[in-house]
Amino acid sequence: MTKISLAAHPFLLGFDQLERLAERAAKGAEGYPPYNIEHQGPNGFRITLAVAGFCDDDLAITLEDRQLVIRGRQAEPEADRVFLHRGIAARAFQRSFVLADGVEVVSAGLENGLLNIDLRRSVPDSIVQSIPISRK
């Protein structure tokens, strides 16, 4: 049985990457660390991740082929520490978000155990474009 792709429709020219982007976004959809996505103003977004116990040196934020990747890895605790209960997650993580064309990362900041990443969608000045017809 062959798989029918939505992007194969003749009216959807250039949307062949949409299915790959959706598959990439669905990978690694675990629940740690928890996050929020807020809409800020007409063209702004903020992703907030709860990263309690992580400092800025433990976190890395990269943009890889329109995919925003946040990685966290804490140093191993000292050997002389003895936990009677360890309920604060300190495991390494990787969280990814696929960004649409025109969305760029503006800034990132860590405050009170929350990592905030601000995004902005750049809107073109004119959406209507006139295409000249050349004669041969």
Question: Which residues form the domain of 107?
Answer: 31-75+86-124
pTM summary value:
0.70
80 class by beta-carbon count within 10 Å (0-12 exposed, 13-18 middle, 19+ buried): exposed
Query: How many structural domains are present in the chain?
Result: 1
66, part of any domain: yes
Is 92 contained in some domain?
yes
Residue 8 resides in a domain: no
What are the pLDDT tens digits along the chain (136 aa)? 555 565 566 666 666 666 666 666 556 556 889 999 999 988 999 999 999 889 999 999 999 888 999 999 988 777 788 889 988 777 899 999 999 888 999 999 999 999 999 999 987 766 777 788 888 7
Report if residue 111 sits inside a domain: yes
CATH number at residue 38: 2.60.40.790
Residue 96 lies in a domain: yes
Q: Enter the tokens of residue 13.
A: 């020219």
pLDDT of residue 28: 53
Which structure tokens are listed for 78?
């000292």
Structure tokens at 58: 């433990």
CA 71/CA 115 separation, integer angstroms? 11
| HSE (side-chain half, CA atoms, 13 Å) at 39 | 3
Residue 114 domain-assigned (yes or no): yes
Give the Cα separation of 86 and 77 in Å (integer).
12
Q: Note the pLDDT of residue 11.
A: 65
**130 inside domain:** no
The answer to the question of residue 63 being in a domain is yes
Q: What is the pLDDT of residue 30?
A: 67
Task: Calculate the CA 124 to chain-centre distance.
Answer: 22
